[in-house]
Structure 1
Amino acid sequence: MFNPLDHKGIPLDQQIRNWRELNVEPIDPEAVDPYTRCRIITMNGIEVEAILFQHQFARNCPDDEVRRQLAYTRFVESQQQRVVNWLLPGLASVLETTLGYEQVAVDLTAWVARHESDPYLKQAYEFGVLEDFDHLYRYANLYEMVERRKAEKIVDELTEVMPGRPTVAEFRHPYDNVRDPYQKDAADPRSKLHALTILSAEQQVMIYYMNVGPQYMEPIARQLYQEISLIEQEHVTHYESLLDPRETWWERLVLHEYNECWLYYSFHRQESDRRIKAIWELHLQMELAHLQQACELLRRFDGREPEQIVGTSGLPEPLSFEPNKDYLRHLLATQIDLTTLGAGYVREAHERFEQMQEQIHGGQQPPSEQVIDLHRERFGDEYRIETEGPHPVESLRAREGDRRA
């Protein structure tokens, strides 16, 4: 098993690149493997989180020497983020990139849920993924209306497109979006990586929608982005609350760098595009040096060894983008009617949930429902990609109707 603590990587003083090296050729949106696009979008979110975290760390750190070290590493992370995000093509529309973002949210979260050993954390991912699944469906319908193209060009039938937990039902009182955190000294190191990965990905979705939503002229597009961006803010609250707030800045710095090593290592192993694979390898070698620096800071200021944070057995199983159709269909059939109450989950629409629904919707039809009705009016039906048979919830309801008849 690869243990990044045993590798020094590229020396820090050799990591700053010039403009020519940063000027990467973007992917071809018509020919790229959809999961290559997903890996790019994921690593962009991971790098953005690394940058934002280090900025917050610097604002709370009184040691000027450490602030200078963070500034240097943060500049390198910023170069990495530009390379990764600039792999996305200017030819792709905002909606095409949005579909890629939602495919990431669905298949990344589903993979993490499947591999999470802690039942409470697993439930948090299972709960969230059914909402991202519904967002993909809403945007796919908008995509065909606005751009006259089908989402299968983006997701390539690797991810099904059909209703999840209805977006209209995803607005909850803010109190009910806060989960219980894992316990930092008892949690499996893999659980810490899972939580940080999903938080970073969802945070990037939130930031992206906050910024691109107003760029559309079509009223329904502007409204849908506004609605779903608010849900993504709920998701960031949902996932960030899973992190133990007792973790020190030094501990979290090690976790961030270790997580980047895990993901670059994972994607390098899985990547089918040789040019992109070389970027994952280069960035992994950079992150190994960042990790070594973080470990030294942990020893100096926390008096702890990194193995106390991330374990001694090396990186966990590589994260993989792959279809999760059967798993998602199982969740649709068993958890679609869940909502939250406090730090737990319930099936009943409790008073606080109903009050929030009334405050948000005011008895009016939200954009997420309007977009489906407009698609039906224009094309005669809604847009879906169902590769494994009918929607499990609709099939169950149909059987129930037959039984009662």
Structure 2
Amino acid sequence: MAFNPLTEKGIPLDRQLRHWAELNVEPYRKEDVHPYTRTRVIAMNGVEVEAAMFSHNMARHTVDTGLKKVLAQVRRIEQQQQKVCNWLIPGEENSIENTVGYEQVAVDLTSWVARNEPDPYLKQVYEFGLLEDFDHLYRYSNLLDLMGGDPAAIVGGYTEITPGRPTIFEHRHPSDELRRPMTIHAADFQSVMNAMTILAAEQQTMNYYMNIGNRPTDPIARGLYLEIAQIEEQHVTHYESIMDPTMGWHMHHVLHEYNECWMYWSFMEDETDARIRAIWELHLSMELEHLRLACEAMKAIEGRDPADFLPANGMPRGVQFHENKDYVRGVLAAQSDLTAWDSEFLPIDQLPKDHRYFDYQAAVNASVPPTEQIIARHREERGEDYRLETEGPNPVPALRRKGNGSTMAYHDRVQMNTEEPRAGGRM
């Protein structure tokens, strides 16, 4: 059934404020929480953080005192919603366990978005990022296993753990992280919601690693967070660049509130935990009113009706977390060797030898990357790296287990054997 938040009635804003005991919710039990309940919690926290940050930035760029008041009032409630979402995560779930959950979000949420993306170029954008987050899940899982944790218990067998596009290859010059932006009036509305959702999720991961990456005491663990945090910066640049840069503040405001409604509705439909489902339902009722206020502000200040760009019949489907093993394997088999040149994607061996990619690689990988060190340590201490390959060996032969080999050696061969680009290549 399609969901149209413009036709639903929400809770009036003056009835949305909650007291401390209501906000300090009981967290889920990490021992028995469903993996996709965990991922929904993490994803909604990211959406709420994005909403709060956007609202603050909009307030800093308007002189309209009345609008500032509306933004402040709604933002206070959305900050309460964010606390509830984030406080569902128990303190007993340590940072690295939480990190594995974050990367499962990245893998399965990006997979769903890519599979439901109508624009071929944007689909490629998502699949490109997917393989990098898939590799991050593998690297962090090896760290967690060395710490005595159980990555399989976190992902629940729904997501495989095996190398993706090796992180050592992911480090690219900033100029090669910019993608072609969509045009809001030409894009399918599904594309708009997809982009906003993934951008919020990736931004949350970037922020999380910026803050907790220095918490481990082990130098390799600290280095692992440091290196992957830099890729998360790349990913935020990668995804934010596909948004239409001509959209004004009020359009962004309406779209943010619409996205929150759509996400809460989606997760309410699929949530298996009755208590948490009730939270999604309550927050949806609040967001419906936030959307109405954003639409009214746009009409009053810009004289524009949001119905001009919002879908008349609502969204036909909701975001779902589900198993994507075969899909990820297919993308990995076809695209593990891709890199970026400006806004396009191509195999690394099609780059010219003097491409800026190699200069950037030489600079940041002058010392052994921590993402390689963690695998080397796991092999040294346990005899082999940690994997959860439920569907068979890695679909890329070069990424299968080979004794004590590493992607460092493969990386060096690629660097040495790079040929001149084919005809039509850019300089």
Q: State TM-score, norm by structure 1.
A: 0.96
How far 1:180 sits from its partner (Å)? 1.0
Residue number in structure 1 paired with 2:117 = 116
State the SS of the aligned residue for 1:29: coil
Residue number in structure 2 paired with 1:374 = 377
Question: Mapping of 1:233-312 within 5 angstroms?
Answer: 233-312=233-312
Supply the distance in 2 between the matched residues of 1:307 and 1:19 (Cα, whole angstroms): 37
How far 1:304 sits from its partner (Å)? 2.1
State the SS of the aligned residue for 1:340: strand
8 A Cα contact 1:109 1:198, kept in partner: yes
Supply the distance in 2 between the matched residues of 1:301 and 1:174 (Cα, whole angstroms): 37
How far 1:316 sits from its partner (Å)? 3.0
**Where in structure 2 are there 5+ consecutive unaligned residues?**
402-427
8 A Cα contact 2:393 2:400, kept in partner: no
Supply the distance in 1 between the matched residues of 2:139 and 2:313 (Cα, whole angstroms): 42
Supply the distance in 1 between the matched residues of 2:220 and 2:398 (Cα, whole angstroms): 30
Residue number in structure 1 paired with 2:344 = 344
Please tell me whether residue 388 in structure 1 is matched to residue 394 in structure 2.
no
1:82-107 CA deviation, whole Å, 9 max, x = no partner?
Answer: 00000000000100000000000000
Question: Mapping of 1:4-403 within 5 angstroms?
Answer: 4-145=5-146, 147-349=147-349, 350=351, 351-362=355-366, 364-394=367-397
How far 1:397 sits from its partner (Å)? 8.7
State the SS of the aligned residue for 1:388: coil
8 A Cα contact 1:26 1:87, kept in partner: yes
Supply the distance in 2 between the matched residues of 1:385 and 1:332 (Cα, whole angstroms): 16
8 A Cα contact 2:97 2:149, kept in partner: no
Supply the distance in 1 between the matched residues of 2:142 and 2:159 (Cα, whole angstroms): 15
8 A Cα contact 1:8 1:292, kept in partner: no
The one-letter code sitting in structure 2 at the alignment partner of 1:391 is: N
Supply the distance in 1 between the matched residues of 2:121 and 2:240 (Cα, whole angstroms): 14
How far 1:315 sits from its partner (Å)? 1.9
How far 1:246 sits from its partner (Å)? 0.4
8 A Cα contact 1:41 1:85, kept in partner: yes
How far 1:7 sits from its partner (Å)? 1.7
State the SS of the aligned residue for 2:340: strand
**Between structures 1 and 2, the one with greater helix share:** 1
Percent of pairs with identical residues = 54
Give the superposed CA RMSD. Answer: 1.2
8 A Cα contact 2:394 2:400, kept in partner: no
State the SS of the aligned residue for 1:345: strand
The one-letter code sitting in structure 1 at the alignment partner of 2:218 is: E
1:210-247 CA deviation, whole Å, 9 max, x = no partner?
Answer: 11011110111100000000000000000000111100
State the SS of the aligned residue for 1:392: coil
**Where in structure 1 are there 5+ consecutive unaligned residues?**
399-405
The one-letter code sitting in structure 2 at the alignment partner of 1:36 is: T
How far 1:271 sits from its partner (Å)? 0.2
The one-letter code sitting in structure 1 at the alignment partner of 2:297 is: L
Supply the distance in 2 between the matched residues of 1:155 and 1:88 (Cα, whole angstroms): 15
The one-letter code sitting in structure 2 at the alignment partner of 1:345 is: F
The list of structure 1 runs, each at least 4 consecutive aligned residues, that deviate by more than 3 angstroms after superposition, is: 395-398
Supply the distance in 1 between the matched residues of 2:312 and 2:302 (Cα, whole angstroms): 18
Supply the distance in 2 between the matched residues of 1:316 and 1:196 (Cα, whole angstroms): 17
Identify if the C-alpha distance between structure 1 residues 198 and 268 changes in structure 2 by more than 3 Å, giving closer, same or farther: same
Aligned length: 396
